[in-house]
Amino acid sequence: MPAILLGITGSIAAYKAADVANELTKKGYTVHVIMTKSSTEFITPLTLQSLTKNLVHLDVMVEPNPQKINHIELAKQADLFVIAPASANIIGKLANGIADDLLSTTALALPEMPKLLAPAMNTVMYESLPVQENLTKLHRYGYEIIEPRESLLACGDFGKGALATNERIIENIIQKLP
């Protein structure tokens, strides 16, 4: 079965990534997870490790196997790369080639493969010119954007910015795999 590299960033929607990882694992996919430091404030790495049965990767300076460079190996082993939820921060980093954590460093090391982003943030943030320009740039770089939903957001605002449904994220992933 194909291997999926799932990135999780610091968003209240991070907890939903556990269900995505769980469903993909149940379908027989190998799921490797990279979490940003801020995502661990919303959901624990142990949760994702328990669901995927794989080590969760957190720090670019930690090399589990000293004979291999972790971010390069993670990139080489993946058949598909997805970030769900994708915060404005990671979108900006990827659009501008910034590699200052394990997730952004791995993203820059990816060979040709399907790459998906599922943004999740406040409506005003999502609709801001910098975020929209970064998403346009990432689309040109080969990323497919899984559009957020319009919903009541965690901040109390109503608008576009809620993470796409888990079903839609999983459907997009499966469609892109052989």
**Residue 74 and residue 106 in contact, taking contact as beta carbons nearer than 8 Å:** yes
Condensed to tens digits (0 to 9), the pLDDT of residues 121-142 reads 999 999 999 999 999 999 999 9
Catalytic residue among 3, 98, 113, 155: 155
Residues pairing with 151 in the sheet: 159
Query: Which domains, ranges and CATH numbers included, belong to the chain?
Result: 3-176 (3.40.50.1950)
75 among known catalytic residues:
no
Q: How far is residue 177's CA from residue 154's CA, in Å, rounded to a whole number? A: 32
What does the DSSP 8-state code read for residue 41? G
Q: pLDDT of 3-62, one tens digit each?
A: 999 999 999 999 999 999 999 999 999 999 999 999 999 999 999 999 999 999 999 988
Q: pLDDT for 152-163, tens place per residue?
A: 888 888 989 999
Least Cα distance to 145 among 155, 124, 160, 158 occurs for 160
The torsion angle over the Cα atoms of residues 142, 147, 153 and 159, rounded to 10 degrees, is 120
